[in-house]
Every structure is written in structure tokens, then in C-alpha cells.
């Protein structure tokens, strides 16, 4: 399959980024280096090309259109101009995708979804949506840049408008961005104060260039995006969650509203009643060694689970990871050993709480 390029592809080439395939897209993994980009995000600010992500617009009252039935949060309860993290489930309660829903008005919503899942999501939405609903997949024409880090608010106030300052955590609004009226939300995937800026593909290169002129920020790639999200214990679709995993197994139950009906609800309730077979754990290693996807997890010589994602944590200088373990052995403080199959690699660790990194500027302001 031919890899897609975002409208910022040439910019990345110019910056001499290391490019690699990700979810069907050719994406920048790093510019100067993952550690430097990670630290720059925590200390100042970074911009990320997130044009590969999907945006699906849905119009019509959520009850009548059946959108309410497709998502795990109660759309009527959400305030206009705010966002919620939630999931879209199959009948078995497995996660088709995790996403942010933006409420523009009582009957207009945007779903911001993972790049690798755009087609599957659209198919599932259209299959379950009432005929009266209008569903538009604008992923191919709408670009997005994430700006993340403690300086991000000051930078946007200087470059776009002072009104950015008024945006609260998980809220959004329309702003005049380079002559185009579009959305900026105070959201992100790093644990830092940050924003996601939506702009047409035609204008997004101009925005990238404008932001880059500011000396307080640097571009960061998907490598740093991954280490940043992992230090917060945020799940990555395809690694930590997929269609075989339910939100309650993945530790995402608080983003599910059981007081409403939705696809997968019965399966989740049944699973709860029977008891979970596996549950989400977070762990850190007692060295600089990092756990990796699919390493097996042991305690007292007994296999209890597996790693879904792991990395070196630049802010903590140790290995961190998340995975699944049998609930009988998922208690905090438990000593574990992480092993790669068929090799000698064996790393000692301990089960801890998330987030790993606790000093993020996320809720600053």
C-alpha cells in the first residue's frame, strides 16, 4: 500500500526529520532526537504534525441520530464547546476506537479519531447512524497541529489571539487563524498545557511556518509523542487497546457512562458480573532498561501477563510500561520481572500508579 503524506511532508523533509511509516502515513519520528524533543515539550513547548488523524462531523440530535448509542459518554450532558474522551465499542464491548468528541451545538459533533481507524470508524458509524443524520468524513481536507508545553498558551496568545488564554482544560472555541475561522481546543496527548489547532490543508503549512518562527518552541516527532504519552499512562490504540480489549480491562471505565444505552453495554455488564480475566497495570523498572511490546510479565516465577507498551522515560531516567495482568497479581507495589521471549532479556520492575510523570503543566491556568 502506498503511504500517505500529510500537507506538512515537505516541511519535515526540509527540517531533515527521520521519516517512518505509521498507520499508513509517512510521518516524522524525530528531528533533533527523541530525548531533546521530549524535554523541550516538558520545559517549553513543541509542535507536532497530527494531520494524519481523522475528523468525522455528525449533525442531528444525538438521540435521534443514534450517535448516543455509538459512543460511551452521554452526549446530551456534555456542555457545548467542550470535549470528552470516550470509546466506540463493538457488540462484545471491544474498543473499535478511542477518540475525542467535540460538541459544537446540541446537534452537531466532531469525532477526532486515530489515523489507522478512520475507515473502520466511518463504516461503523454509518452502519449504526439513523438515515436522518448527516455524517461527513473531513479527514482528508482538514489538517491539525498540536502545540504542547508550558509555554504553549503564551505562544498562541502572541501569534493568534489573546483570547486563547480563556480556554479551559478540555474546552474549545472558534478563532480567526490566518484568515480562516477554525477550532482550537485545549487538549493533547502529553500531560502538558497544550492545544490542538484545526485548519484546512491549504492553510496548515502557513501555520506551521508561523509557529516555527517562535524561538520558544521546536518541532517534535511521533517518537517524543510516544514517550510523553507513556509517562502519563495514556493508551495508544493498536498497542494498548484494540477490538479484543474492553474499556474496563484497559482501565478506561471512567470514560463509560452506564446510565445510558450504547453498543457493547450488555457485554461490559456481563463481563463485570463474571469478573475480569485481565486488567491494566502500570510499572516501572528499577534500572535504565525498558520493557517493550509483548514482553511477558512474571511474579514469583509465575507468568501473570504481558507488556502492551514500554519505553525509557526521559523525565524519570528509568524504564516504564503498561500491560495486562491477571487481577490476582495486579496489586500496587508488587515486584515483577519482564522478559523477552526467546532471549536472555530479563528486567526487574514494580507495579505502580499512573501517571508516571506527576509534574505536568496540563491543568495549569
Partner 1 sequence: MNVPEDLLYTKDHEWIRIEGKVGTIGITDHAQSSLGDITFVELPKIAAKIKQLEQFATIESVKVASDVFAPMSGEVIKINEQLQNTPEIVNQSPYEKAWFVAINIDAQSEKANLMTAAQYKQYLKEKEK
Which residues are near partner 1 by CB under 8 A?
A: 18, 30, 33-36, 223, 227, 287-290, 292, 311-312, 314, 340, 345
Between 108 and 289, whose beta carbon lies closer to partner 1? 289
Is residue 191 left, alpha or beta, with left meaning phi > 0 and alpha meaning psi from -120 to 50?
left
Between 36 and 267, whose beta carbon lies closer to partner 1? 36
- Minimum separation from the CB atom of position 17 to partner 1 (A): 12
How many angstroms separate the Cα of 45 from the Cα of each of 10, 38, 150, 218, 235? Answer: 22, 9, 6, 7, 22
Between 43 and 168, whose beta carbon lies closer to partner 1? 43
CA-CA-CA-CA torsion sign (112, 113, 114, 117): negative
SS3 annotation, 237-272: ECCCECCCCCCCCCCCHHHCCCCCCCCCHHHHHHHH
- Minimum separation from the CB atom of position 307 to partner 1 (A): 12
Beta bridge mates, 173: 184
- Minimum separation from the CB atom of position 220 to partner 1 (A): 13
- Minimum separation from the CB atom of position 344 to partner 1 (A): 8
- Minimum separation from the CB atom of position 289 to partner 1 (A): 5
User: How does strand 335-339 pair with strand 346-352?
Assistant: antiparallel
Between 81 and 306, whose beta carbon lies closer to partner 1? 306
CA-CA-CA-CA torsion sign (40, 42, 44, 48): positive
CA distance 184 to 176: 10
Between 34 and 89, whose beta carbon lies closer to partner 1? 34
Amino acid at each position: 500500500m502506498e503511504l500517505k503524506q500529510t500537507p506538512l511532508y515537505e516541511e519535515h523533509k526540509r527540517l531533515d526529520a527521520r521519516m517512518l511509516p505509521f498507520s499508513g502515513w509517512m510521518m516524522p519520528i524525530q528531528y533533533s532526537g527523541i530525548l531533546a524533543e521530549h524535554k523541550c515539550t516538558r520545559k517549553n513547548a513543541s509542535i507536532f504534525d497530527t494531520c494524519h488523524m481523522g475528523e468525522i462531523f455528525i449533525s442531528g440530535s444525538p438521540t435521534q441520530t443514534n450517535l448516543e448509542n455509538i459512543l460511551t459518554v452521554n452526549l446530551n450532558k456534555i456542555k457545548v464547546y467542550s470535549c470528552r474522551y470516550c470509546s466506540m465499542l463493538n457488540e462484545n464491548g471491544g474498543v473499535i476506537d478511542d477518540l475525542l468528541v467535540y460538541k459544537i451545538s446540541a446537534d452537531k459533533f466532531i469525532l477526532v479519531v486515530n489515523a489507522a481507524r478512520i475507515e473502520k470508524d466511518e463504516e461503523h458509524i454509518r452502519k449504526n447512524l439513523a438515515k436522518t443524520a448527516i455524517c461527513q468524513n473531513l479527514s482528508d481536507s482538514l489538517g491539525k497541529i498540536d502545540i504542547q508545553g508550558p509555554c504553549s498558551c503564551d505562544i498562541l496568545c502572541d501569534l493568534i489571539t489573546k483570547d486563547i488564554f480563556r480556554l479551559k482544560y478540555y474546552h474549545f472555541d472558534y478563532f480567526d487563524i490566518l484568515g480562516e475561522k477554525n477550532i482550537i481546543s485545549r487538549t493533547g496527548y502529553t500531560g502538558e498545557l497544550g492545544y490542538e489547532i484545526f485548519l484546512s490543508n491549504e492553510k496548515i503549512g502557513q501555520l506551521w511556518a508561523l509557529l516555527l518562527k517562535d524561538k520558544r518552541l521546536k518541532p517534535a516527532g511521533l517518537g517524543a509523542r510516544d514517550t510523553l504519552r507513556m509517562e502519563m499512562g495514556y493508551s495508544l490504540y493498536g498497542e494498548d487497546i484494540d477490538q479484543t480489549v474492553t474499556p474496563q480491562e484497559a482501565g478506561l471505565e471512567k470514560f463509560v457512562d452506564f446510565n445510558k444505552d450504547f453498543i457493547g453495554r450488555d457485554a461490559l455488564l456481563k463481563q463485570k458480573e463474571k469478573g475480569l480475566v485481565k486488567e491494566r497495570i502500570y510499572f516501572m523498572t528499577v534500572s535504565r532498561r525498558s520493557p517493550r511490546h509483548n514482553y511477558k510479565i512474571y511474579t514469583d516465577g509465575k507468568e501473570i501477563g504481558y507488556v502492551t507498551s514500554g519505553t525509557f522515560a526521559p523525565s524519570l531516567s528509568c524504564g516504564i510500561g503498561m500491560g495486562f495482568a491477571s487481577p490476582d497479581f495486579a496489586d500496587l507495589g508488587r515486584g515483577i520481572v519482564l522478559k523477552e521471549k526467546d532471549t536472555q532479556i530479563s528486567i526487574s520492575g514494580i507495579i505502580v500508579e499512573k501517571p508516571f510523570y506527576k509534574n505536568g503543566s496540563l491543568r495549569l491556568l
